[in-house]
Chains A and B, each alone.
Chain A
């Protein structure tokens, strides 16, 4: 199985801060990397696919980059509605696997 490692596991930030979350794959996954946002009691929401393509309807302050084994999710100016847990997921090969999550909390 491909192991996905996210860092940090949690972070505290203020509104309008720039936030970066990293995700590392245990082997090359090309650009087969997706990012999701999950809020308590809500269904997870797709943010980014193909490492850098923004899902329709997702604000442009979210961006993704990387290929191979190293990827990042960046929120350029954190908004109150962005406090949530973020997960990366590889779809390069089955079984699809997720990172352990990064919880973004209010400082």
Chain B
């Protein structure tokens, strides 16, 4: 089963850019979509967006132009960059694989493999 692991700084200063990388092992990144999801303390899960291995991206409009998700197929990794962070961006950040499952003649996108999550705190 594919494994995912987030890495990156656990502390980011306000107004700076948050950067995280997700390393995919026991499977190829050259298929499926690859997502970032976050959970602020005491709040629910928030889907940030995803990237296809071809480089096509879809972002959550709530993040406007602050978010960039990119893929590095040669290293089996994908990355998140979130610009101009504030305390509201403090959260546990998860990377996940979005795969298409077929059931009853329909295809459903599911987040079928997740990383353990990494806490990023925004503070000076």
Contact residues of A with B, CB < 8 Å? 1, 31-32, 34, 36, 41-46, 49-50, 53, 55, 87, 89, 91, 94-101
Contact = CB atoms under 8 A, between A and B. Distances in A.
Contacts of A49: 101, 103, 108, 110
Nearest to A48: B110
Given A34-B110, A44-B96, A50-B106, 16 more contacts: A31-B104, A34-B111, A36-B111, A41-B116, A43-B114, A44-B114, A46-B112, A49-B101, A49-B103, A50-B101, A53-B103, A53-B104, A55-B110, A87-B44, A99-B44, A100-B44
Contacts of B87: none
B45 A87 contact: yes
Contact of A55 (B4, B45, B104, B112): B112
A33 B66 CA distance: 28
A2 to B, nearest CB: 11
Size bracket, chain B contacts: 20 to 34
A89 B111 contact: yes
B108 A95 contact: no
A94 B57 CA distance: 12
B108 A46 contact: no
Q: A-side binding surface: helix, strand, loop or mixed?
A: loop
Q: Which of A42, A55, A96 has the most CB of B within 10 A?
A: A96
Contact of A101 (B44, B49, B106): B44
A89 B47 CA distance: 10
Contacts of A36: 111
A45 B1 CA distance: 13
A26 to B, nearest CB: 15
8 contacts: A1-B62, A42-B116, A43-B113, A44-B96, A49-B108, A50-B104, A50-B108, A94-B60
